[in-house]
Amino acid sequence: MTFPLFDLAGKRALVTGSSQGIGLALAQGLAQHGASVVLNGRDTAKLETAVQGIRNAGFEADASVFDVTDPAAVGPAIDAIEQDTGPIDILINNAGMQFRTPLEDFPIDRWKQLLETNISSAFYVGQAVARHMIARRNGKIINIASVQSELARPGIAPYTATKGAIKNLTRGMCADWAQHGLQVNAIAPGYFKTPLNQALVDNPEFSAWLEKRTPAARWGNVEELIGAAIFLSGKASSFVNGHTLYVDGGITTCL
């Protein structure tokens, strides 16, 4: 039995920062629902391992090694995918990083790195991909936001700033590109067990705080983000635009 509203057969998805964690889980999920996936990262060996894992499961996957924070590299890389692999129907802007320290001590170089990785990359890749989608008058762009698009906590103010920017960039992309047939939305994960969060997962005090703070009373597992990605990638979301979908166990509902 097939479900056309959630069927991604014949679609190609590019997922940035997808050699591990949330990006890899989303790429695997899209592949399982019929999409051909293109994984992106900077570590060739790590990326090839991830691609091979998807292929070994019987799905179609390719690698595209380029630095999403380098605007000079992004355009040619996207053009190469479009020409050599095929049209990009779905883009998931997932590349991101975190650095934790009190704001008064936050290094300027880390601030700049966070901006480039978490927000500028979504602009660079989104713009390059959208130019092709606009010509076809069809396309799905999903930006990965965060509960920190709405909330804040000590030690991550710059990260919070970048994720707030992602939410509004998503709205801006919608305002410009919906008229050309594109749907641009965001997924805002709560606290998930990922390599980015491993130090927090391993901290009993933080985990206890999180379980008390979150109505679902637990960490999320990356597989629980796949459903949201499938919805926003398929026909089911054809009139959903500029929206940020929180997948957070309810943490944003509580003060």
Give the active site residue among 124, 159, 191, 246: 159
- Find the angle CA(68)-CA(74)-CA(75) to the nearest 5 degrees: 160
Nearest one of 5, 227, 203 to 100, comparing CA atoms: 203
**Alpha-helix residue ranges (DSSP H) falling in 81-221:** 108-115, 121-136, 157-177, 198-201, 204-213
Indicate if 124 belongs to the active site.
no
3-state secondary structure of 15: strand
Percent helix / strand / coil, the chain, rounded to 5: 55, 15, 30
Q: Is 247 left (phi over 0), alpha (psi -120 to 50) or beta?
A: beta
Q: In terms of C-beta density within 10 A (0-12 exposed, 13-18 middle, 19 or more buried), how is residue 205 classed?
A: exposed
125 touches 16 (CB < 8 A):
yes
Q: What is the DSSP string of 170-189?
A: HHHHHHHHGGGTEEEEEEEE
The CA R_g of the chain, rounded to the nearest whole Å, is 17
Pairwise CA distance, residues 91 & 16, whole Å: 8
Active-site residues: which are they? 159
